[in-house]
Chain A
């Protein structure tokens, strides 16, 4: 600790006048940023504010057009990520760079350049992951892990390098309150051990709770440096976004006597994944006009439930899933769509959308089931383009038009398109998983509004989300999935965070025991 205390008047990382120009977009416009030793520093801003570009420059992924980078008060040109890691900079990306077919240990070993360091790697993975309360099985294949678990790999991978600065890009977007709490414990401990953290987020309460300093960006420029704990969330939000946040108007409580549209009766499905969670005896009834939220820690059966509801994995027993009175458990996605079901999966790239196909084609992907865009097996390109254009207009998707490839859209815009694609079909049931994961605040509001409007028209909506705030904001009732079992839904008005957290703990997940592991090491 002593050397850090001595050098504390000096900065760990100092950026001045960073400029990065992309074709048609000035991503960083003379950005200044100073991260001190032992500091948790927030980089706050909407999607498109230039945060990602800035951290890519810090991590050596990109080079600035002009500007100076000083590391421990020495000017440096960071050549590449390996150079950054040698300097002591680690980064956890928002989109993970993991090989799905390899195991946890193999993935981590790939990031270790020195062969000697691979000796006893498994033991060190276990040691670090247990020590920091990030339980991981080194032998497990990545493709079977949830998003939350994959993030742990990335964090452990960084911690193995004993970084002086850890950059975290939107780390909490998929974590439960408990997981967030644990992550904060990890980060604070790193801070006390002399590691600084650059924490990128747009979640204001988190930043207020965690960070010592904050740099706020808007449209490529730094608009403020501040101490977050001295600001209210509202003040931070106003700095971050130019326009005022629109939240949907409060809607009347849904009619309790409304007819149930989706009924699950003792739905049990074996997971298709080797280490997945089987669904066990799930009962649920969602009424017309109701929004029901399903909360839970990542990897407790959410993806299995999504697959079972969408029909990607049929349940086998037709009566286990009733859609508007019809037994659909044995049906595939197309048949369920014809009966009025619409679905938005968690993963956009390669699941909800084919990235290198056009928006028109992606509209056709799920919209074709209604039979309006094709006849006699021939795609009607005019109608397909019109369908995509309608979605783009109605949901304000920022793009060049229906011929744009899905991958050319930002995450928020693509998600607006994918949610819009389903909402535009006026479904009787909408099941949507992680509706606003990795989406900027503006897009999130638009998506929330679309969901609420849909419910007002009588659609039954199921939201599977790990963002509790989102569930609390939108839903009438909340149920918690843990270990493949679903709790009895309760009214959101009567639910408390503590009560939900307890349910999330469930029977076979054991976050409490892991807490004790934190004490060791």
Chain B
């Protein structure tokens, strides 16, 4: 039997090693799972994790999936650093799509160059607005943000369904629950001819760098970190906790909203009832896998984007259910949280108990 023994301080090595170990364990576990389902684990893991990248469209598909994950994950890592547990990025993503998309729909005839920036701004506003409700409830009524943000996600989803099946439904859409396509002027441009990599794929890493600079260089970032680490020390320093809660939620909500508006004005092109395969929830894993560091979120975002593509590939090539993606993500988070124990504890095989006590010199 092994025992965990406190290290006394955080292990630098394992704070980076833990996600790698978690990934390896996840691959082994999913491999076993594939084997149980009668597939060769080697082939299945290859199909799941490598094959999507070999496809000619693989890289662009990966970038498109990673962009929202990174954008949301970066915002969440800032939020979690400040000890504000925003679990409702999915809802903020949805509201960003509704606000930005709604604005785009109200100007179908391309009134000017300012339309597209305004669409993005409305997306940010929508996500921030949804997060602001959480901030208000927390700072004024001390309501737990985990619950409120999560519940607001379902409200957001219902609002979206109501809009696209009701007032915003495309009259020429044969009754499908979707809006009209956005005008060209309100559509997120692609970067290269023949590739579907869009403007948002560039904004995502830029957002990560911006948040990284904010957290490491600015007084505001310092305040957010202090309030997350030691709220009493923040009070001692005179940092206003409720102000920082607002800021953390507005930034993470705004980034989720931006991701939402990029998604609907880019790859989707209209509002429908399902605009996200759970980006907002997956981004929670992205934030933790990236060690709550904005740059780490870039790598984590790419990996989890791959899990979406891998799910598709496994479904098409091997006839495995699409749920493989969810299982991979869940197992990964499980192992990650488990492996994090190694940051504070070391594994030790206890010396066999002395037979006769006192035999030690």
Contact = CB atoms under 8 A, between A and B. Distances in A.
Contacts of A312: 235-236
A405 B236 CA distance: 19
A377 B219 contact: yes
B222 A351 contact: no
Nearest to A345: B236
Contacts of A311: 238
A364 B223 CA distance: 10
Nearest to B231: A350
B218 interface: yes
Interface stretch (A169-177, A352-360, A459-467): A352-360
A374 interface: yes
Contacts of A335: 238
B112 interface: no
A365 B219 contact: no
A70 B353 CA distance: 17
A369 B226 CA distance: 15
B56 to A, nearest CB: 44
Nearest to B221: A379
Interface in A326-367: 332-335, 337, 343, 345, 347, 350-357, 361, 364-366
Given A350-B230, A351-B232, A356 B10 contact: yes
Interface string A361-399: 100111011000010011101000000000000000000
B14 to A, nearest CB: 15
Interface residues of B, number: 24
A79 interface: yes
B360 A66 contact: yes
A369 B223 CA distance: 12
Contact of B230 (A79, A351, A366, A408): A351
Given A66-B361, A68-B360, A364-B222, A350 B240 contact: no
Contacts of B229: 354-357
Interface in A290-338: 310-312, 332-335, 337
Nearest to B216: A379
Interface in B209-255: 217-220, 222, 225-226, 229-230, 232-233, 235-238, 240
B238 A334 contact: yes
B237 A333 contact: yes
Interface residues of A, number: 41
B360 A77 contact: yes
Contacts of B226: 354, 357, 365
A343 B237 CA distance: 10
B235 A353 contact: no
Contacts of B237: 333-334, 365-366, 368-369
A350 B233 contact: yes
Nearest to A350: B230
A11 interface: no
Given A77-B358, A378-B218, A354 B10 contact: no
A351 B233 contact: yes
Nearest to B353: A79
A378 B233 contact: no
Contacts of B217: 378-379, 381
Contact of B238 (A70, A369, A377, A405): A369
A229 interface: no
A364 B216 CA distance: 13
B219 A310 contact: no
Contacts of A407: 9
Contacts of B10: 356
A245 interface: no
B37 interface: no
B238 A337 contact: yes
User: Of residues B219, B220, B229, B236, which shows the largest number of chain A Cβ atoms within 10 Å of its Cβ?
Assistant: B236
B1 interface: no
B222 A361 contact: yes
A378 B10 CA distance: 28
Interface in A52-85: 66, 68, 70, 74-77, 79
B357 interface: yes
A353 B233 contact: yes
A343 B361 CA distance: 52
Nearest to B228: A354
A168 B202 CA distance: 61
Nearest to A365: B237
Given A369-B238, A378-B217, A75 B233 contact: no
A381 B229 CA distance: 20
17 contacts: A66-B360, A70-B358, A75-B358, A77-B360, A310-B236, A312-B235, A332-B238, A351-B230, A351-B232, A351-B233, A354-B229, A354-B230, A355-B230, A357-B226, A366-B237, A377-B220, A378-B219
Interface of A: 66, 68, 70, 74-77, 79, 310-312, 332-335, 337, 343, 345, 347, 350-357, 361, 364-366, 368-369, 374, 377-379, 381, 405, 407-408
Given A75-B357, A312-B235, A366-B236, 16 more contacts: A68-B360, A70-B358, A77-B354, A79-B353, A332-B240, A333-B235, A334-B237, A334-B238, A345-B236, A347-B232, A351-B233, A365-B233, A368-B237, A369-B238, A378-B218, A379-B219
